[in-house]
Structure 1
Amino acid sequence: MGDLLPPDVDFNFTPAAPIVGQEILFYADRKEGSGEVAEWSWSFGDAEGSTSKKRNPYFTFASAGTYQVTLVVRNADGAQHEVTKTVEVAPPPKEFLANIVWEFTNNAAVTHINEGSSAPVIGDDGTIYYLESRFGSVGNVVAVTDQGENAQLRWATELAGYIANAPSIGTDGSIYVNTWANDNMVYKLNGADGAIMWSGAGRGASNTTPAVDAEGNIYHGSRFTTGDGGAYSWSPSGEKRWEIIGVGSFYSAPVLSKDGNTVYFLNTSEGKVWAINTADGTSKWTESVGMGSGTHGSSLSMDSDGTIYYTTNAHVVAIADNGETGAVKWSADVKGAAQSGVVIGPTGELYTGAGAGLVSLNPQNGAVNWTYPMSTNESVPAVDVEGRVYIGSSDGKLVVVNALGQLLKEIELGDGVVNSPTITEDGTVFIEATSGANIKLFKIAVNESGPADSPWPMKGQDVKSTGRGR
C-alpha cells in the first residue's frame, strides 16, 4: 500500500437557495485524476454537530443562518482531501394571508370595462378614487371613504365623455382624468367634493393617465393620429403650457424623469419613445427611439438608472436616455403585452402582463425568467415588499404569485376583467373588477405587506399614479 492516488473531490447541493425545513441534497463527485475514495465524511456545521457517512446525503437545517459544510474523503491508505462550502439557509417564507374586507359599487350600469389599465388612486386622507366607464357615453369619477370594515360613497361626478384610462392625483389633492371627448379632453376635479374645477379641450384621450410633476403641472397624450392628436401639458390652473400635435396618436401613460426636466411619451403610431423638455415642450432628442411596431395603451415606467420601459403587442422594450440621444438597451419578444406595463420587484426583476400570462424578465438583458400562464388583459401588475406579484385576470380573479412564479392565491372578485391593483403602505390592496353590469371596488387586507421598495412597484409608480421616476 502507499502507492494509491490521493482522493480529490468536489461537492454541490440543491436547492441552491434553501430555506429552513427544506431537505437539501448534497452530492459529491471525484475530480479527474482523483484516486478511489474509501470513506466519505460530512460535517454540516450546525449546533448539533450533525454528520453523515453517505456519499450523497440529504440534510435539513432546523434554523436559518450561514453554515460551513465540510466534506472529508479518504482513500484506503488514509490519504485525505477536504473541501468546505458555505450554505445560506433562509427563513421560511411568510404565510400569505389575504382576504376581502369589503366590496363597493356605485350601482351605475357600465357597458365597458375601464380601459387603459385602470387602477384606483389614494388621497392623503385615505379617500379612494376610481372610475366607471360607459362605452361611447358619459363616465363617472367616484370617491369612496374607507370606514374600515365597509366603504361609503363620498361623491360621484359624471363627466361628459367616455373614460378610457385611469386617474391621477395632483400636488394639491385634486383629481385629473382624461376622457374620449374632444371638447373636454382633460378634467380637474376637487378631491373633497368632486366639483369640476376646469376642463381642457383637445382631440380626445384614451389609455393615458396624466403624469404630475412636483409643481403640479400635468402631462398626457391624445388618441388621434391627425389634427390635434399628440402630447399636451397643462398648468394646475388649467392653462395649456404646450402641445405637440399632428404627429400621431399617444395611447399611453407618460413618465417623468427623476429631476422633472424630461417627460417621455410613447408615440403609438410609430411605436417609439419621445423625450420632451417639460419646461417648453421642445424635443430633447431629435430622433424618437424604439422598436417601430405600433402599440396601444402601454403604461410607461422607469428604473432607478433612468431606463424607460414600454410594451407593445410584440415586445417589452428598455430605452436609455443618453442626454442628446436615446437608444434601445434591449428588447424582448413578449407577445400581447401592449395594454399592460412594466413594474419592478424589490430585487430588480421586471414584471408585465402579456398574452401568455404574467411574465418575469431580467432587467439587464430582457431575458424571460418565467411565465405564469393565465388570462389577463389591461392589468398592470403590482409588487409588494415580499416580492409577491399581484395581477388581475380577465375572468374575475386577483392572482398572486411569488417571486419564483408559483401561485400563492386566487381571489374571486367578479365575472369579467379585473384591472390593475394598487398597494398602500400598510399592504392593503385596492382593485376594480367587473361584476355583471357594474364596476366594483374591492379592499383586500394582506398580512405584513406594503409596496415593494423599488423604483416602480405599481402602475403610475405610487398610490397617486403621479408617473414620476425616483
Structure 2
Amino acid sequence: MRKLKILLLPLISVALLFSCETEDDDVVDMPAPSADFNITPIAPIEGEEILFYADPEENSGAIEKWHWEFGDPEGSTSDKRNPYFTYNAAGTYEVVLKVLNTSGTSMESSKRITVLPPPPDEFPANVAWEFTTNTEVGNINDGSSAPVIGDDGTIYYTESRAGSDSKVVAVIDKGESAELKWASNAIGAELPNAPSIGPDGNIYINAWNDDFAINKLNAADGALMWSGAINTDVSNNTPAIDSEGNVYHGSRAQSPNGGIYSWTSEGEKRWEITNVGAFYASPVISADESTVYFFNTDNGQIWAVNAEDGTQKWETPVGAGNGIYGTSLSVDADGTIYYTTKTQVVAITDEGETGAIKWEIEVDDASNSGVVIGPEGDLYVGSLGGLLSLNASDGSVNWTYDIEIAESVPAVDVNGNIYVGSTDGFLYIFNPDGGQIKALELGDNIVNSPTITEDGTVYVEASSNSIIKLFKITVEDSGPADSPWPMKGQNIKNTGVAQQ
C-alpha cells in the first residue's frame, strides 16, 4: 500500500504556553525551550500505532526533557522525545507536549488530532463487467477521455487511434454484461477528445482533422449528422453544450485559424475568434449560460467570452501563464474558474468587466487533469506528483497521495470518496481524509476519467495491451457528490455547464 506524502497539518492552531522558573541570576538569560510536533500517519485509525515526533523550533534553547500527555481517558504519558502511541477508540484527542531546559524553563504546545474509526473490511466497489471491440489503438485515449451516459442509459465512449479508424462506441448495460449497440468510424479521423451529449440526446465530438473539427453523431445508430470545418484541427477538447444545444470548443493549432468557435445544434457556425493561439482545453459555461470560459494554452490565460455573439467579456485575458495542453476547466458555486497547467493549479474570479487571479499553487504537472469539488467544498486534482486535496479559499494543500496521474480528472461521490485513474492501470478510491480504500486493477497503462451515475455506478475507460476497454464498477449506497462540479464536464453528459 502506498503512503501519503505529507505529514499532519494541524487541525487547529497550536497553543503555546510559557512559564519561567529560575533559582539564581546566573540562568536568567538562558534561551527558553521551544518545540513543535507532528504525527504519522496523518489520518490514523483506532488501534493503529502512531508515531509522535518533535523538533526544536528555530531559536529554541537547549531541551533537557520531553514530556507527552496523549489526552486519552487513561491519562497516558511518555517522556521519550519521539514516542509511539495507540488510541483504542475513535475520537478527537488533545495532545500536549511539554519541554524543559536545565533551568526549569518550560513550554507547552498542544494539538488536537482526530482518530478515525476503522474502514469497512472491503469497500463495496466491484467490477461488474468489461467491454471492448478489440480495436488496437497503439496509444492511450488522451483528452482525459470519459464515458458519457444518455437518458436511456446507453454509454458512449471513444477508441482513439492515429489515422481514420478511431471509433465512437455505444454500449447497452445489461446489468452483469454489456452489449454493443453500435461502433461508428463515420468521422474517419483521429479522436483525441471526449464526447458530450446535447439536449436532443445526440453525440458531439471534436476530431484531429481540418474538415471534421466538430461532429454530431446520431445516438440511435452512430451515423454522421453533420461536421464543421475550421481549417485546423482539435485536440484535448470536450465540446461544451448549453441548454439550447449551442456548441462551444477551441482548436489545437497555433495557425491563423487557431482560436475558439461556436455552432448551432444544426451545424451552422455562430461565431469564431481566430488567429489567437491554441486551446488544448475543455471550455465551460457559466450557470446563467451568458459566458463561456476558454483556456488559451499558448499564454496560460482564461478568456471570458459572451456566449451569444462571441465578443470578449474581458478585453484582457487573465491567468498565471505557463499554459500547456489538456486541462478540463471547472466552475465553483461562487463562479470561481479553475484550471491546471504543467506547473500550476489556478483559481480565477470573474469580476464582471475583468477577471483576477484568486490564488495559484505550484504542482508537479496537473496539465492533463482538472479540478473537481467534493460535497464539503474541498477541491481535488490529479497530477504526476499525486492526487491533491486543496482548500478552495486559498489553494493550500490539505493532503497529497503519492500516485502518478495523467489523462484522468477525478470524480467525487455523495459520500466524499474520490475516484481517479492512474498511469499504472489502477482505478483508485480514496476517502475524504486521503486514505486509500480501494484499488481496482483495470489495465497496464493509463486509466481515464471516471463517470459516476445517480445510482453510484462508475464507468471508466482503461488501456490493456493497446486495447481500450470500458469498465462498469458497481458501488453500494453512492452517487455523484452534491457539489458544483463532481466530475469531468460537471455531469454524465459532459456538457460543461456550471450549476447555480
Tell me the C-alpha RMSD between the 2 structures. Answer: 3.0
Match of 1:126 among 136, 153, 158: 153
Over 3 Å counting, the alpha-carbon distance change for 1:426 and 1:244 in structure 2 is same
1:290 partner SS: coil
User: Shift in Å at residue 303 of structure 1?
Assistant: 0.5
Match of 2:372 among 340, 343, 363: 343
User: Shift in Å at residue 115 of structure 1?
Assistant: 1.1
Instruction: Note the 1:303-382 alignment, pairs <5 A.
Output: 303-382=332-411
Q: Which amino acid aligns with 2:460?
A: I
Match of 2:319 among 290, 304, 308: 290
Residue aligning to 2:127: 100
1:119 and 1:161 map into 2 onto residues whose CA distance is 19
Instruction: Note the 1:382-421 alignment, pairs <5 A.
Output: 382-421=411-450
2:406 and 2:234 map into 1 onto residues whose CA distance is 20
2:461 and 2:214 map into 1 onto residues whose CA distance is 22
Over 3 Å counting, the alpha-carbon distance change for 1:198 and 1:334 in structure 2 is same
User: Shift in Å at residue 332 of structure 1?
Assistant: 0.5
Instruction: Note the 1:8-27 alignment, pairs <5 A.
Output: none
Task: Give CA deviations for 1:353-393 in whole Å, capped at 9, x if unaligned.
Answer: 11211111111111111111112211111111111111111
- TM-score scaled by length of structure 2: 0.78
- TM-score scaled by length of structure 1: 0.83
Residue aligning to 2:209: 181
1:220 and 1:383 map into 2 onto residues whose CA distance is 25
Match of 2:283 among 254, 258, 278: 254
Residue aligning to 2:481: 452
User: Shift in Å at residue 299 of structure 1?
Assistant: 0.4
User: Shift in Å at residue 306 of structure 1?
Assistant: 0.4
The share of aligned pairs that are identical, in percent, is: 59
Matched, 1:235 2:235: no
Task: Give CA deviations for 1:336-358 in whole Å, capped at 9, x if unaligned.
Answer: 11111111111111111112111
User: Shift in Å at residue 138 of structure 1?
Assistant: 3.4
Residue aligning to 1:167: 195
Q: Which amino acid aligns with 2:419?
A: Y
Q: Which amino acid aligns with 1:420?
A: S
1:191 partner SS: coil
1:230 and 1:352 map into 2 onto residues whose CA distance is 26
Does 140-149 or 399-408 show the bigger shift?
399-408
Q: Which amino acid aligns with 1:441?
A: L
Contact 2:140 2:466 (8 Å CA) reproduced: no
1:53 and 1:188 map into 2 onto residues whose CA distance is 68
Contact 2:344 2:366 (8 Å CA) reproduced: yes
User: Shift in Å at residue 99 of structure 1?
Assistant: 0.9
Residue aligning to 1:11: none
Over 3 Å counting, the alpha-carbon distance change for 1:108 and 1:323 in structure 2 is same
Runs of 4+ in 1 over 4 A off after TM superposition: 14-24, 51-62, 86-95
Task: Give CA deviations for 1:287-341 in whole Å, capped at 9, x if unaligned.
Answer: 0000121211110001000000000101000000000000000000012111111
Task: Give CA deviations for 1:240-291 in whole Å, capped at 9, x if unaligned.
Answer: 0111111000110001000000000001111100000000000000100001
Contact 1:314 1:334 (8 Å CA) reproduced: yes
User: Shift in Å at residue 400 of structure 1?
Assistant: 1.2
Contact 2:420 2:450 (8 Å CA) reproduced: yes
2:43 and 2:433 map into 1 onto residues whose CA distance is 12
1:155 partner SS: strand
Match of 2:138 among 111, 125, 137: 111
Residue aligning to 1:201: 229
2:423 and 2:43 map into 1 onto residues whose CA distance is 34
Contact 1:22 1:61 (8 Å CA) reproduced: no
1:289 partner SS: coil
Contact 1:377 1:417 (8 Å CA) reproduced: yes
* Unaligned runs of at least 5 residues, structure 1: 1-13, 25-42, 45-50, 68-85
2:434 partner SS: coil
User: Shift in Å at residue 22 of structure 1?
Assistant: 8.8
1:143 and 1:413 map into 2 onto residues whose CA distance is 20
Match of 2:464 among 435, 448, 455: 435
Over 3 Å counting, the alpha-carbon distance change for 1:181 and 1:87 in structure 2 is closer
Does 197-206 or 367-376 show the bigger shift?
367-376
Contact 2:48 2:86 (8 Å CA) reproduced: no
2:493 and 2:266 map into 1 onto residues whose CA distance is 19
User: Shift in Å at residue 446 of structure 1?
Assistant: 1.1
1:462 and 1:281 map into 2 onto residues whose CA distance is 25
User: Shift in Å at residue 140 of structure 1?
Assistant: 0.5
User: Shift in Å at residue 175 of structure 1?
Assistant: 0.3
1:416 and 1:87 map into 2 onto residues whose CA distance is 38
Over 3 Å counting, the alpha-carbon distance change for 1:448 and 1:245 in structure 2 is same
Task: Give CA deviations for 1:200-243 in whole Å, capped at 9, x if unaligned.
Answer: 01111000000010111110010011221110111111110111
1:437 and 1:20 map into 2 onto residues whose CA distance is 43
Contact 2:46 2:87 (8 Å CA) reproduced: no
2:221 and 2:239 map into 1 onto residues whose CA distance is 20
Match of 1:157 among 184, 190, 193: 184
Residue aligning to 1:139: 166
Matched, 1:462 2:491: yes
User: Shift in Å at residue 136 of structure 1?
Assistant: 3.8
1:131 and 1:171 map into 2 onto residues whose CA distance is 20
Matched, 1:219 2:226: no
User: Shift in Å at residue 93 of structure 1?
Assistant: 5.2
2:432 and 2:451 map into 1 onto residues whose CA distance is 18
2:140 and 2:322 map into 1 onto residues whose CA distance is 26
Instruction: Note the 1:43-82 alignment, pairs <5 A.
Output: none
Over 3 Å counting, the alpha-carbon distance change for 1:280 and 1:390 in structure 2 is same
2:444 and 2:116 map into 1 onto residues whose CA distance is 39
Match of 2:219 among 176, 180, 191: 191
Kindly tell me the number of residue pairs found equivalent between the two proteins.
423
Over 3 Å counting, the alpha-carbon distance change for 1:23 and 1:180 in structure 2 is closer
Over 3 Å counting, the alpha-carbon distance change for 1:201 and 1:54 in structure 2 is closer
